Amino acid sequence: MGKKSTKPGNETGKTEQLKADTENGQDEFLTTNQGLRINDNQNSLKSGERGATLLEDFILREKITHFDHERIPERIVHARGSAAHGYFELYESMAKYTTAGFLNDTKIKTPVFVRFSTVAGSRGSSDLARDARGFAVKFYTQEGNYDLVGNNIPVFFIQDAMKFPDLIHAVKPEPNHEMPQAASAHDTFWDFISLMPESMHMIMWVMSDRAIPRSYRMMEGFGVHTFRFINEKGKSHFVKFHWKPLLGVHSVAWDEAQNISGKDPDFHRRDLWEAIESGSFPEWEFGVQLVEEKDEFKFGFDLLDPTKLIPEEIVPVKIIGKLTLNRNPDNFFAETEQVAFHPGHLVPGIDFSNDPLLQGRLFSYTDTQLSRLGSPNFHEIPINRPVVDIHNNQRDGHMRHTINKGQTSYDPNTLGGGCPFQAMVKKMGFTSFLERIDSKKIRSRSKSFMDHFGQATLFFNSQSEAEQEHIINALRFELSKVQSPEIRQRMVNLLTQVDKKLATQVAEELGLTAGKPEMPMNHSVPADEDPKGYQPKKGTQLIDRSGALSMEHTRKDSIQTRKIAFLMANGFDDAACTAMRKALEAKGAVVKVIAPKLRMLTSATGIQSAVDESFLTAASVTYDAVYIPGGAKSVAALLQEADAIHFVNEAYKHCKAIAFGADAVKLIEASYIDMKQPDTGLIPEKGTVQKDAFIKAIAQHRFWEREKMRKVPA
Q: Supply the residues annotated as catalytic.
A: 78, 151
Q: Is 493 helix (H, G, I), strand (E, B) or coil?
A: helix
Peptide bond before residue 73 is cis, with ω within 30 degrees of 0: yes
619, 611 Cβ separation under 8 angstroms: no
Is the torsion defined by CA of 425, 426, 432, 437 positive or negative?
positive
The burial of 551, by beta-carbon neighbours within 10 Å (0-12 exposed, 13-18 middle, 19 or more buried), is given as buried
Q: List, in sequence order, every residue forming a beta bridge with 682; answer none if it has no partner.
A: 658
- Alpha-carbon span 413 to 2, nearest angstrom: 58
At what angle are helices 58-68 and 356-373 packed, to 10 degrees? Answer: 40
Q: Specify whether the backbone of 59 is left (phi greater than 0), alpha (psi in -120 to 50) or beta.
A: alpha
Residues 191/169, Cβ–Cβ less than 8 Å: no
3-state secondary structure of 106: coil
The closest of 33, 41, 30 to 443, measured between CA atoms, is 41
Helix 688-699 × helix 574-586 angle, to 10°: 40
The Cα 155–Cα 137 span in angstroms is 18
- For 550, phi and psi rounded to 5 degrees? -100, 130
User: Residue 482: what are its φ and ψ, rounded to 5°?
Assistant: -80, 130
Residue 328: helix, strand or coil by DSSP? coil
Using DSSP's 3-state secondary structure scheme, residue 84 falls into strand
d(Cα 247, Cα 285) in Å, to the nearest integer? 11
**Burial profile 481-496: b = 16 or more Cβ within 10 angstroms, e = fewer:** ebeeeebbbbbbbbbb
Label the pairing between strands 227-230 and 350-352. Answer: antiparallel
DSSP state letter for 107: T
**C-alpha distance across the termini of the chain, in Å:** 47
Q: What DSSP letter does each residue of 660-711 carry, written as one string?
A: E-STTHHHHHHTT--TTS--TTEE--BTHHHHHHHHHHHHT---GGGGGSPP
DSSP states of 207-265: TSGGGSBS-GGGS-EE--S-EEEE-TT--EEEEEEEEEETT---B--HHHHHHHHHH-T
CA angle 130, 133, 138 (to 5 degrees): 170
- Report how far residue 130's alpha carbon sits from residue 471's, in angstroms, rounded to the nearest whole number: 12
CA angle 297, 302, 306 (to 5 degrees): 150
CA 557 to chain centre: 24
Strands 613-614 and 590-595, bridge-based pairing: parallel
CB of 623 within 8 A of CB of 651? Answer: yes
- Is the distance from CB of 688 to CB of 583 less than 8 angstroms? no
Query: How far is residue 73 CA from its own chain's centroid?
Result: 22
4 in Cβ contact with 27 (< 8 Å)? yes
Q: Are 156 and 355 in contact (CB under 8 A)?
A: no
Residue pair 491/200 in contact (Cβ under 8 Å)? The answer is no
